Structure 1
Amino acid sequence: MNIAYWIVAGLLALFYCYAGTLKVTRSRDRLRPMMAWVDRIPLPAVRALGTVEILGAIGLVLPPLTGVAPSLATAAAVGFVLLQTGAIAVHLTGADRRIALNVGLTATAAVTVWLAAGV
């Protein structure tokens, strides 16, 4: 189960680190082709969301790796489940109704919650 956690959590952390970095560093115009919802959210909120994603990615990896407060990995994974639940709501209330990636990320984060309980 430990190997499964590291594979799933590592992939999830890579995705969120990449997506969060884009939200923190790119302009609204450069984000728009990938994320149609950025026009409906204030830019500081997009930046804050990116920061939360980066911190969550760190939370998936660093606590179990160091052995310091490993329960934070479970909290980070639960946070990603909640984040994607909110993302699905944002997509469904706007013109962009593509939620397949969000559903996949929600399921992956839920599996990570389950695996983190065993780490």
Structure 2
Amino acid sequence: MNVVLWIIAGVLAAAFLGAGFMKVARSREDLAKAGMAWTEDFSPGMVKFIGVVEILGAIGLILPALLDIAPVLVPIAALGLAVTMVGAVIVHVRRKETKTMAPAVVLLILSAVVAILRFGPYSFTS
């Protein structure tokens, strides 16, 4: 199960790094044109902030355990990303974008699985 959790964390880290860097590097208008219409509901600074949160969460999923420095940060990062995805799902529901919220739901579930299992039976401290 430890290997499975590492794989899930790696996939999550790649997804959040990509999404986060895209939000940081591109303008809100470019993101909206690329299919992220939800960005119209947020200020440019907030979109950049969300991107930074996703990047930091991705780093937190991998580096603490890899370097064996405060590995308790892994489930904390996973929990933070799950909360971020709860917000994303809420935004998509409010905007009636139920067809485009599937990635957010999948990322939410995977982040929650990592958080629960890394806090619980498969923690790095047990």
Q: TM-score range by the shorter chain?
A: over 0.9
Secondary structure at the aligned position of 1:31 is classed as helix
Give 4+ residue runs of structure 1 displaced > 4 Å after superposition: none
Q: Could you say which residue in structure 1 is the equivalent of 2:46?
A: 45
Count how many residue pairs are aligned between Structure 1 and Structure 2: 119
When normalised by structure 2's length, the TM-score is 0.89
- In the other structure, the counterpart of 1:21 is 21
Equivalents in 1 of 2:5, 2:12: separation in Å?
Answer: 10
Bigger mean CA deviation after superposition, 108-117 or 70-79: 108-117
Structure 1 residues 80-106: Cα deviation after superposition (integer angstroms, max 9, x where no partner): 111111111111111433321111111
- 1: CA distance, partners of 2:66 / 2:116: 17
Q: 1:14 Cα deviation (Å)?
A: 0.2
| Structure 2: stretches of 5+ with no match in the other structure | none
Structure with the larger RCO, 1 or 2 (CA within 8 Å, 6+ apart): 1
Q: Which structure 1 segments of 5+ residues have no match?
A: none
1:22 and 1:34 map into 2 onto residues whose CA distance is: 12
